[in-house]
Chains A and B, each alone.
Chain A
Amino acid sequence: MSKEIISVKNVSFTYRDSKKKVLNNISFTVNKGEWVSIVGHNGSGKSTLTKLLNGLLIADDPKNSAIYIDQLLMSENNVWKIRDKIGIVFQNPDNQFVGATVEDDVAFGLENRNVTRSQMLKIVPEVLKEVDMLPYKKTEPQNLSGGQKQRVAIAGILVVNPEIIILDEATSMLDPEGRNEILSIIRQLQKEKDITVLSITHNIEEINKSDRVLVLNRGNLLKIGTPDEIFAEKTLIEEAGLELPFVYQLKEELKRRGLQIPGSIKTEEELVDYLCQ
């Protein structure tokens, strides 16, 4: 189970027209099937990190740093093989819709891999069904809601069976309903297909539900750990510009008023049960 799928070693990155390092000597690993949230202030290097992972950007100093995706070293020869393994859902649902209709868009990844048409005709409806968008097969993007467009984007990366899905603030432009829909679809897929999910997010509830959290601040990796470990460190949370989830806030407030709640309680249901006792 706990097979390493992403391994980042000593990676730094500087954009060409600036002197400041966007990422500073970052190392971490992610296991297969994990859900890892990446958090941090605006401009802390989160999006840059995801672009490094699929080779859209190349890290500084390639001799001393390395990125491995599923045992493959990121290099010019491997970059397309690595992109086959990683699917990214970007922030703006409008700007990542390539096709003129839903099915065209979903087929785009298959077209790029030169899959035959008869196979595409089989795969596309199957994948659209998984994200519950089959009735909209022929619809044009301007007639879809933001949440539906993001579901199409997910379908667009699922057609090529990625090992890793990266959500680059994929739900930040959606309404709460759309956000929950997208997250529950991805959670289900993660379980069914043992997909690894990296999610850049500011949404505290999503962070709370992830397996591990990676905290970035001004290009430095502050900590990587379970949500519990992260939420326990108050200074860390402040530095990363985060808020505590509602349950933790309530626990803090109760503690201040003299009621100790055990650390094992992490969800609203557990807290409700505990308080009723």
Chain B
Amino acid sequence: MSKIIIGRYIPGNSIIYKMDPRGKILASFLFIAIIFLANNWITYSILTIFTLLAVIATGLKPKNFWDGVKPFIWIIFFTALLQLFFSSGGKIYWHWGIFTLSSYGLITSIYLFIRFVVIILISTVLTVTTTSLQIADGLEWILTPLKYLKVPVAEIALVMSIALRFVPTLMDETVKIANAQRARGADFNDGSLIQRAKAVIPILIPLFTNSLTVALDLATAMESRGYQENHVRSRYRVLKWSKYDWLNLGYFLLLTLLLMVFRTK
């Protein structure tokens, strides 16, 4: 449990790893927007092919992506089934009470299924190939225009990177506290729902006070190292836009164009 990596970044070396997180985040947003352009079997095949190519380009094992889809599998099937039995139109194959199995329902449920899976696959490609810190840096860059609306972007970015830096530390702490309580007889896996919820209290309260102590200590340490709020700071970590990122955006623009050309009016 102490080795939990948020966003489940898996280290690798393929071309997607060399891409700038800003480009990857923007491309993922773009992808989710353009997915709704697809409305016939040609466009859906294009979408599927482009997604699979992106997945292959990560150079990771298919199992990683299956892990990404797995938690959502019930939602996907449930919505696809609803779509399948509750839409009518086209040829009707089977009819019983409120349930109808029609050719229209069949096609839309397949489209829905594809739509779900490609969204999950593309977001998995993003999180698996990008460290959480890179994502935070990328988001900071994307948020920069909000400066003009007086949003404290630099502070938000610092908060994000400190939060990410403390995720593993607090995870370790949680495990330690849970073990310490177990050593005194606490039982976290048995009993009714209410009993189990109560059993979490001896973990949560120490964890909470602990986080506050850490926050105070960290604030003292930061201040004594010269941190001043609202002060101009330089940056050590910078993002570099490379030729791979043009490739990345070009890829998704090409996809957008193809979808626009082949969609039925």
Contact = CB atoms under 8 A, between A and B. Distances in A.
Contacts of B214: 94-95
Contacts of A98: 162, 165, 218, 221-222, 225
Contact of A112 (B162, B218, B228): B228
B133 A100 contact: yes
A120 B234 contact: yes
B226 interface: yes
Interface in A108-123: 108-117, 120
Contacts of A83: 223-226
A13 interface: no
B193 interface: no
Grouping DSSP codes into helix (H, G, I), strand (E, B) and loop, the B interface class, with mixed when no group exceeds half, is helix
Contacts of B161: 99-100
Contacts of A117: 234-236, 238
Interface residues of A, number: 40
Interface stretch (A85-93, A187-195, A200-208, A259-267): A85-93
B220 A90 contact: yes
Interface string A58-97: 0000000000000000000000100110111010101111
Nearest to A89: B221
Nearest to B218: A95
* Interchain residue pairs A-B with the least CB separation, the first 9: A95-B217, A107-B236, A96-B221, A112-B226, A142-B168, A100-B165, A109-B225, A111-B233, A114-B234
Interface of B: 133, 161-162, 164-165, 168-169, 172, 213-214, 217-218, 220-228, 231-238
8 contacts: A88-B224, A95-B218, A97-B165, A101-B133, A108-B236, A109-B226, A111-B236, A141-B165
Given A95-B214, A109-B226, A112-B228, 9 more contacts: A56-B223, A95-B213, A95-B218, A96-B221, A108-B222, A112-B226, A112-B227, A114-B232, A141-B169
